[in-house]
Amino acid sequence: MSEGKVSPKKMPGEPYAFNIRARFWITGENDGYVGIGRVELLERIDRLGSMNKAALEMGMSYKKAWKLIEELNEMYPEPLV
């Protein structure tokens, strides 16, 4: 146990709390990928109706959002946005 940290005592039979976290992405033939950030960007563009508003809400530049969308569009037969 690290110095200065005290772990609370558990009573017998009391359940443990665990957190499971994972990230995944889907890769394409051209080395492009779809991860959670790109999915979130697409969802926000759909909800807000604007790539610029979606980018601002995510704290990224319009240029970065444009680049991510262009990479996604190259992975699919028809543009996503």
Task: Look up the pTM and report it.
Answer: 0.63
Query: Of 27-31, 40-44, 50-54, 72-76, which range is least confident?
Result: 27-31
Question: What mean pLDDT value characterizes the chain?
Answer: 83
Contacts of residue 36, Cβ cutoff 8 Å, sequence gap at least 6: 23, 24, 25
9-27 pLDDT, tens digit per residue, is 777 778 877 787 776 666 6
Q: Cα–Cα–Cα angle for 27, 22, 76, nearest 5°?
A: 20
